[in-house]
Amino acid sequence: MLPPLARRFVAGESAAAALEHARRLDKDGIGTILNLLGEHYHDRAPADADADAYCRLVEDIGTTDLRVCLSVKPTQLGLSVGEDVFRENLARVVEAATEQDAFVWLDMEDHTTTDATLDAFEHHAREHGDVGVCVQANLRRTPADLERLAPLPGKVRLVKGAYDPPASIAIQGQKAVDEAYRDLLASMFEHFDGGVAVGSHDPAMLAEAASLHDRYGTDYEIQMLMGVREGAQRELARHREVWQYVPHGSRWLSYFYRRLTENVGTASFALRALLSG
């Protein structure tokens, strides 16, 4: 059972609870990116089980008229077991999603998974088009990756990067990462033919995206996490396309812990909530 504090960041343990949350977001004009919590599987069984769960989820999505898509993690679909397992499970999920006209995002995990994730994205983008992939501004390779992704169909979500890659391959320090994010965003607005997703809660990056949109006219969407700056999400949705990333499932503990530790604003919220019972 999900404790009250976690309910800010996780929609619930069941798919029904996640779709209920999507219904509420829909009323505010916000689309839902559903993620079933799970990652780093080293056995095939849980990876296959989560792929099955995603296939059932897209059938449930198909019974609604809500704007709902999926975001999956490569190691959740078996990348740590083997690239072939990941490819097979991803193909099943994308095929099921395509039947229901549901879009599938690929989250980007640590730097050891980047090549396999981009390769799988490219394969499905060329076949179906209705797929997206996340890239991380803190990786030095990302400018070159964006050159590869620009001509492909599908969408690309730019984030600052949630992992801690070694200094040899990653930009260090918040200021430098912010600078890289701005540069990459500018390159996406200039060279991408739509399909740009700004995955950030940072008002400075959102302002940058708005001014790049004015300059280049490129369409874009804003993506934020459930439980983070939700007032801003509702406000932005009045004149921009906004999607909320909504995790659900029984494996919520480590995700919830990450949300609490990554931001002072969130941590003080948690402290206040704990103190007030």
How many residues are listed for the chain in this entry?
Answer: 277
CA dihedral (165, 170, 176, 177) in degrees, to 10, reads -60
Is 107 among the catalytic positions? yes
132: nearest Cα among 41, 258, 221, 203: 221
**CB distance 126 to 118 below 8 Å:** no
- CB of 103 vs ligand FAD, minimal distance in Å: 14
The encoded tokens of residue 126 equal 């060329």
Give the integer Cα–Cα distance in Å for 37 and 56. Answer: 15
Confirm or reject binding of residue 263 to ligand FAD (CB under 6 A): yes
Site string for ligand FAD, 124-163 (x = CB under 6 A): ----------x-x----------------------xxxxx
Is 148 among the catalytic positions? no
Site string for ligand FAD, 193-222 (x = CB under 6 A): ------xxxxx-x-----------------
The encoded tokens of residue 127 equal 């076949």
Q: Which of 48, 50, 87, 107 is catalytic?
A: 107
33: nearest Cα among 75, 82, 77, 70: 70
Q: Which stretch binds ligand FAD (CB under 6 A): 7-15, 50-58, 60-68, 261-269?
A: 261-269
Confirm or reject binding of residue 107 to ligand FAD (CB under 6 A): yes
Residues forming the active site: 107, 157
Binding positions for ligand FAD, rule: CB under 6 A? 107-108, 134, 136, 159-163, 199-203, 205, 223-225, 228-229, 245, 263, 265-266
